[in-house]
Amino acid sequence: MEFFLFLPQMRLSFEQIVERARAAEAAGFLGMSGMDHLAPPLAEDQPMYEAMVTNTWVAAHTERITLGSLVLCDTFRQPSMLAREAVSLDHASGGRYELGIGWGSVPSEFEIYGVGSMEPRVRVTRLKETLEIITALWRGETLDYKGEHFTLKAARQEPRPLGHIPIVIGGSGKKTMELVATYADWWNLHTGILDKLDDLRDRAGTARPSMQIRIGFVPSEDQREEVTATTQRRFGKTPVIGTGPELVDHFGTLAERGVERVYAWFCDFAPPSTLAAFGEEVIPHLA
């Protein structure tokens, strides 16, 4: 099992984000992903940086970790531009970028900001076209394309990716799973459908399962009550709360179920001390 840090780029300065990225790198996390919204869900009054700009800044201040988003909202970007942005980040980072993409988890954003459609069918067909266009441009094709949403005439892109840019797709609907099987290297599924993993696994093709987990890390037993109270106040009763050995057991069970990557979302906003302790007490036992 591998671990990515999930760090929403909100309520943190760029300096604090870089500090956490470097701490994650030192602790053994293989990557770091942020979110992609036009306003933070359920915290619309809080400051938040844009996803691609944040990834570019973090890439310039780290050496090894992979950067990405869990996941970019397809509707926010024109596919030819997104293809070029991704390749630019790929080159700038030395091959440390992966493209996470989905068709949007907060439909109200589309109405508030006037982007895209709130209709699921429209959004998923647009994502299909985006993936068709992006992968064709990355292959170096000169592309003539006519779809429901996009028309391209003799379109091409240089430079091409340094190697293979991994694609992460989130979701579990029928049409989404078809895209996962066709395009994805990683398939991110919601914790609420873990019991359906076995049934859905064959429909994911060769994509490897990943899962985002909210974590209340308990550094010592005398801090359990405080950590539990803070975690549940911020995120309710859904996070996994435990010491290093307890988390090893929990993630070990997920690994046995077939989950190959965890995006760890720490409920204390991932200070370096938490990342270092997690890297010492959890990651080596599961990597």
Residues in the chain: 287
pLDDT of residue 254: 97
Q: What's the pTM value of the predicted model, to 2 decimals?
A: 0.96
The predicted structure's pLDDT at residue 105: 84
pLDDT for residue 273: 97
Could you give all domains of the chain from N- to C-terminal order, each with its CATH number?
2-215+258-268 (3.20.20.30)
pLDDT for position 54: 98
For residue 42, the model assigns a pLDDT of 86
- Given a cut of 70, the residues of the chain with pLDDT beneath it are none
* Alpha helices by DSSP H, the chain: 14-27, 51-60, 79-92, 108-113, 120-138, 174-183, 197-201, 224-235, 244-257, 272-281, 283-286
User: For a pLDDT cut of 90, what percent of the chain falls above it?
Assistant: 91
pLDDT at 192: 87
Query: Cα torsion at 237, 48, 123, 263 (round to 10°)?
Result: -50
Q: State the pLDDT at residue 204.
A: 96
